[in-house]
């Protein structure tokens, strides 16, 4: 069922310019709730917020108390990260909401992966990390001597991430994890779960986990499993029924990846899409 968690320490103390406000939406697919991150460089008049979370009026009002904001940034378009963005922008009088997907933008242009957002004492680089969703990005933020990567759902602080068709793509996801391996000893602040001290170490753990899973799925397919449900029966024999759907989403993406690599093309499946997998 996957290798041991990496040794990168969970981090309780954040840099002084970072504030965590956790949304009140805990659950099996959101862990302790969505992490909303507020960034304000020392002495700056304006802050930046990453992932305002669900449409929860109390949570959005707590975010607004930390304004004014230069930007509202979105790591990806799942509702537990972006649903409250338009309402927050309205509370703040029209603060721009910036995301890769134009459907989630308000009062601003879509993010161009690899672009740089400067000003107010922060240097923000948009990292192109599709895979969990087609619009997923991470943010490398530099403030003084500090460097932090905000990973959204691409890497979590606990457990691993579902890559579910049709919007998710495992081949792209593996490439995104390889990109994040380039940030050793850089603090990782995820969309769910605790902060971690080493982005690269956690990215390498995710890559190892995925390779192990792919080997197990390949063996299941060789044994005759042709559907996500059949793969789950072999690879996850003791799966909790409450999260079996997430395992089937993951299995569908893994089957597609293996078929693509073997040159056999994609196999259709009836699985849905969503986000977090702690399997």
In percent, how much of the chain has pLDDT > 70?
91
3-state secondary structure the chain: CCCCCCCCCEECCCCCCEEEEECCCCECCCECCCEEEEECCCCCCCEEEECCCCCCHHHHHHHHCCCCEEEEECCCCCHHHHCCHHHHHHHCCCCCEECCCHHHCECCCCCCCCCEECCCCCEEEEEECCCCCCCCEEEEEEECCEEEEEEECCCCCCCEECCCCCCCCHHHHHHHHHHHCCCCCCEEEECCCCEECCHHHHHHHHHHHHHHHHHHHHHHHHCCCCCHHHHHHHHCCCCCHHHHHHHHHHHHHHHHHHHHHCCCCCCCCCCCCCCEECC
Read off the pTM. Answer: 0.87
pLDDT band at 270 (very low <50, low <70, confident <90, very high): very low
Output the average pLDDT for the chain: 89
Write down the pLDDT at residue 243. Answer: 79
pLDDT digits (tens, 9 = 90+) for 217-254: 999 999 998 898 999 999 888 888 887 888 888 888 88
**What distance lies between CA 243 and its chain's CA centroid?**
19
Tell me the pLDDT tens digit for each residue of 99-111. Answer: 999 999 999 999 9
Q: Look at residue 114 in the predicted model and tell me its pLDDT.
A: 77
pLDDT of residue 115: 82
């Amino acid at each position: 069922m996957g290798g041991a968690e990496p040794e990168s320490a969970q981090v309780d103390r954040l840099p002084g310019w970072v504030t965590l406000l956790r949304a009140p939406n805990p659950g099996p697919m959101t862990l302790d709730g969505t992490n909303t991150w507020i960034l304000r460089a020392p002495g700056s008049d304006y802050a930046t917020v990453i992932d305002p979370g669900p449409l929860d009026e109390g949570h959005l009002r707590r975010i607004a108390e930390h304004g004014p904001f230069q930007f509202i940034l979105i790591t990806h378009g799942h509702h537990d990260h972006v649903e409250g963005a338009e309402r927050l922008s309205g509370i703040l009088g029209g603060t721009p909401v910036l995301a890769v997907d134009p459907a989630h933008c308000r009062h601003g242009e879509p993010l161009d992966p690899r672009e740089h957002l400067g000003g107010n004492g922060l240097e923000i680089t948009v990292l192109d990390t599709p895979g969990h969703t087609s619009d997923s990005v991470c943010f490398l933020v530099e403030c003084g001597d500090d460097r932090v990567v905000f990973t959204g759902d691409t890497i979590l602080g606990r457990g691993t991430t579902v890559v579910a068709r049709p919007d998710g793509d495992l081949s792209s996801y593996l490439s995104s994890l390889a990109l994040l391996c380039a940030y050793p000893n850089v603090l990782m602040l995820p969309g769910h779960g605790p902060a971690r001290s080493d982005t690269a170490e956690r990215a390498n753990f995710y890559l190892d986990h995925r390779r192990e899973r792919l080997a197990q799925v390949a063996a299941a397919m060789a044994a005759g499993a042709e559907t996500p449900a059949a793969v789950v029966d072999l690879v996850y024999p003791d799966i909790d029924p409450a999260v079996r759907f997430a395992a089937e989403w993951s299995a569908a993406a893994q089957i597609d990846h293996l078929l693509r690599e073997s040159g056999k093309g994609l196999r259709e499946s009836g699985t849905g899409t969503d986000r977090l997998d702690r399997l």
